[in-house]
Chain A
Amino acid sequence: MDSEESSRPDPAYLLPTVVQSAKILVVGPFGVGKTTLVGSVSEIEPLRTEEVMTQASAGIDDLRGLESKTTTTVAMDFGRITLSDTLVLYLFGAPGQRRFWDLWEGLVVGAVGLLVLVDTRRLDDSFEVLDQLEERGLPFAVAVNQFPDSGRFSDEDIREALDLLPTTPVVHCDARDPKSSLQALIALVSHVGNRSLQETPA
């Protein structure tokens, strides 16, 4: 008997009518609330995958061979919401720091968009990731997580500090609250919808 096999809990399967899947990435710096947000809206206990990323160091192959590569293990949390009999949405919490961008390359293809979580106590931690998204033309919305010792900032203050485009949505969000998290996701998806309507000639 394969005890490893039988001790594993059964996966929570999808309904056999589900034939379409969509995904949203939730990104932000360390400890900003990515896992909390995914967990608060997910219908399953959030799952985790680990990926080993190998990054070639800058420059051409050198004689040190393998030593010119660095490996990082990235953990990614995800959850899911069945949105109708036929559609399921996956939510991925992914770290926003530069060294993890390779991980996104695969993830972001086909994604609805990205929800960028920011913490007003350290807005500068979010500059890099926002620059990167704008440069790549990826659709995103900004969700500001309110922590007990966060100062009170108006949306205008935040827009200005983050140098956002006027069309980029900014929402305030308590990642621990499912309704608040759903509202942040709704703001993102409406924005992406508007954006693609504008891009598609009528």
Chain B
Amino acid sequence: MTAADRPGGPVRPYVITRGRVQPPRRLPVETLLEATGTADPLPVTASRHHRRLLSVCRNRLALVEAAAHLKEPVSVVTVLVGDLIDSGHLTVCSSAPLASDRPDITLLQEVLDGLRRKLSA
């Protein structure tokens, strides 16, 4: 056993910025988002970027689309999205990513059927 994994010491917390934990959240770029429509005001820490993001998400779209419309990097928008989910202003509308990291056979079949319909349309 090395010094690093010896039990008993205090657990070192994540780096905290302005009172919130940096998200270890896993939001794929295709995550579907929509504003919840809550009347609650945005937190006082919300920036202009948060406001613009919430406005772009007034109807349903993917995280990556929000980033493209805002002309901001996906990595930045992912953090802002996390903030707005935590504050109850944004909600995730798509099912959670599977533990396996690969789409299941039902989803594959639906994608295949959908593409075939497009081809014959």
Contact = CB atoms under 8 A, between A and B. Distances in A.
A190 B112 CA distance: 7
Interface of B: 28-32, 34, 52, 55-56, 59-62, 64-69, 73-75, 93-95, 97-98, 101-105, 107-119
B107 A22 contact: yes
A182 B112 CA distance: 10
20 contacts: A13-B61, A16-B60, A18-B60, A19-B32, A19-B94, A20-B95, A22-B107, A23-B28, A49-B74, A51-B74, A51-B75, A78-B68, A81-B118, A83-B111, A83-B115, A89-B111, A106-B28, A110-B98, A182-B119, A189-B108
Interface string A95-108: 00000000000110
Interface of A: 5, 8, 11, 13-16, 18-23, 41, 47-52, 78, 80-81, 83-84, 87-90, 92, 106-107, 109-112, 179, 182-183, 185-186, 189-190, 192-193, 196-197, 200
Contacts of B74: 49, 51
Lowest 3 CB-CB distances: which A-B pairs, in order? A83-B114, A47-B68, A13-B59
A11 B56 contact: yes
